[in-house]
Structure 1
Amino acid sequence: MTGTTEIAYFAAGCFWGVEAAFRQVRGVRETVVGYQGGVTANPTYEDVCTGRTQHAEVVKVVYDPAVVSYEDLLNVFWQSHDPTTLNRQGPDIGTQYRSAIFYADETQKRIAEDSKQAQGTRGLFRRPVVTEISPALDFYPAEDYHQQYLEKRGLATCHI
């Protein structure tokens, strides 16, 4: 294990299942669910659910780049949701459930854009990939009861 870690932010629908997927990845040191990409400071879950804050449910992934690459994390991201549905994942509808990558620096931005383009040209999806790629600005951790929600309940996924 190295002493260096980096941070990535991903929104792919309900953050409980997305967090669970990333927690299984070797090299991921920590995950925190929260809110990002909106206009309201320090939003609560109830605030975000109204859609008025414009935040997405996001997973902050702290990882060791000597063990897992940003590209590998992007692969987990693409496989964990449907990036062709705008503001929706399964039965969850609203801007908080949008597909988004929030980049921490220009290198992440370039890699994310290249990865999104590759997803669109591989022919894996019948519709265009609508994933938003935006700078990682303010990240607000969600309430404690949301952190590792599925793990605390002995569940591996929240899919019905």
Structure 2
Amino acid sequence: MPYVPVPKDLNTVKTKVAFNLTKRQLICFFLAAAVGVPAYFLTRGLLGTTGAVLVLLACALPFFLLALYEKNGQPLEKILKHYINTKYRRPKVRPYVTNNLYSAMEKQIILEQEVDRIAGNKKENRPAKRQTADRQAKAADRRRG
């Protein structure tokens, strides 16, 4: 009876489209040929056959790398994106910062105390106004009744 190994993680299995290549590899190889072959024919007269082949390889090599290189399940463009982000776009020193709830509560208490202190002066004036307003309301009731 034939034995066929079945991988435990099916996410690593890639579907092959043609010539035992994935769709990504076929597209990259086509782009390499689309860039490399014209470069060969355009430079063959100037550089000779050997120089033109070197130009063809230099033009097609990035596409081959994009098609074939993979590390930790990530293609080359994702690896390059992460590398550029960590080296150039994000700051080198990233301090550890937390949301300290205790210090936020302390600041809130200090602010409330300051508001109470400021409003404390106004509270002294308010009861007097309220008393006069209450006296005026009682006086109006006496006149009516």
Richer in strand (by share): 1
Richer in helix (by share): 2
After TM superposition, the score normalised by the length of structure 1 is 0.22
After TM superposition, the score normalised by the length of structure 2 is 0.24
- Structure number with greater CO (CA < 8 Å, separation at least 6) is 1
